[in-house]
């Protein structure tokens, strides 16, 4: 039953969204906002339905993964972690999509700074939650930092994900704190958001990958000697 849960909730969500859209008196809504948060394109109000459809796709992907995982040991041993990751992603998009749906159907032509702060805080929570599970994920080719260096050695995999977990948790906490500080001191939300994404790209991807390559290189040299 658990494997169907996300899909069931997605279907219920899309029904509620459709009712909400149908009851809205607004016919034309913003369909795109530029980097300054200003609406630069418009469409039918039913355009917002693409957002809950993404959750349907997420639910289907997890359902397929659940069935496939039963046949492969390396997928099965990480299934509970995949389930938690899908759950946090699901909640992330659910909150984000409903926020955008309400804002869009209100006819807002310019997003307030609250949107950037919300995005940054949600991103921080997402990064913190997922990174906390990194050290627990077993070597596999589906979830985690999957590069030749980590897939070639269980030791490299464990050490890389341990570092990635520490850096990710620290980065997630920083993003949440910055989001709160930005809201309190009315800082430029867009700059904070892009800076936050850039920071995670460095700490969550670049640094762990370089670290993994260095470890793999040292391990290979030791094996040769």
DSSP 106-129: TT-SB--HHHHHHHHHHHHHHHHH
Confidence at residue 224, expressed as pLDDT on a 0 to 100 scale: 44
Confidence at residue 136, expressed as pLDDT on a 0 to 100 scale: 92
Residue 74 has pLDDT above 80, yes or no: no
Residue found by looking up tokens 């490299």 in the block: 156
Q: pLDDT tier at 1 (50, 70, 90 boundaries)?
A: low
What is the average pLDDT across 138-147? 90
Residue 81 contacts by C-beta under 8 Å, 6 or more apart in sequence?
A: 133, 136, 137, 143
* Rg of the chain on CA atoms, in Å: 21
Model-level pTM? 0.87
Q: Which residue has the higher pLDDT, 167 or 72?
A: 167
In whole angstroms, what is the distance from residue 136 CA to residue 48 CA?
37
Enter the tokens of residue 112: 């307030």
Within 10 Å of residue 208's Cβ, how many Cβ atoms? 27
* Nearest residue to 198 (alpha-carbon basis) of 120, 135, 144, 146: 120
What is the average pLDDT across 115-123? 93
Q: Render pLDDT for 184-199 as a digit per residue (tens, 0 to 9).
A: 998 888 899 999 999 9
Q: Which residue has the higher pLDDT, 109 or 216?
A: 216
What is the average pLDDT across 12-24? 96
Confidence at residue 225, expressed as pLDDT on a 0 to 100 scale: 41
Rounded to an integer, what is the distance from CA 156 to the centroid of its chain? 25
- Rounded to 5°, angle at Cα 161 from 156 and 164: 125
Q: If you ran DSSP here, which 8-state letter would residue 139 be given?
A: S
Residue 28 has pLDDT above 90, yes or no: yes
């Amino acid at each position: 039953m658990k494997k169907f849960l996300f899909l069931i909730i997605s279907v219920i969500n899309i029904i509620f969204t459709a009712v909400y859209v149908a009851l809205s008196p607004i016919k034309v809504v913003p369909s795109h906002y530029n980097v300054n948060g200003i609406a630069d394109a418009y469409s039918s109000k039913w355009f917002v339905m693409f957002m809950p459809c993404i959750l349907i796709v997420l639910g289907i992907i997890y359902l397929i993964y659940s069935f496939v995982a039963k046949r492969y040991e390396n997928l099965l041993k990480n299934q509970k972690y995949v389930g938690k990751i899908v759950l946090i992603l699901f909640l992330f998009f659910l909150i984000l999509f409903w926020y955008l749906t309400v804002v869009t159907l209100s006819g807002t032509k310019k997003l307030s700074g609250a949107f950037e702060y919300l995005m940054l805080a949600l991103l921080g929570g997402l990064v913190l939650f997922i990174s906390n599970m990194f050290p627990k994920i077993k070597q596999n080719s589906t979830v985690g930092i999957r590069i030749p260096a980590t897939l070639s050695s269980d030791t490299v995999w464990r050490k890389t994900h341990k570092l990635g977990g520490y850096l990710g948790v620290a980065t997630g906490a920083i993003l949440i704190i910055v989001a709160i500080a930005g809201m309190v001191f009315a800082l430029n939300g867009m700059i904070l958001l892009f800076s936050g994404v850039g920071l995670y790209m460095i700490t969550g991807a670049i640094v762990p990958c370089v670290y993994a390559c260095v470890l793999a290189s040292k391990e290979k040299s030791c094996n040769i000697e």
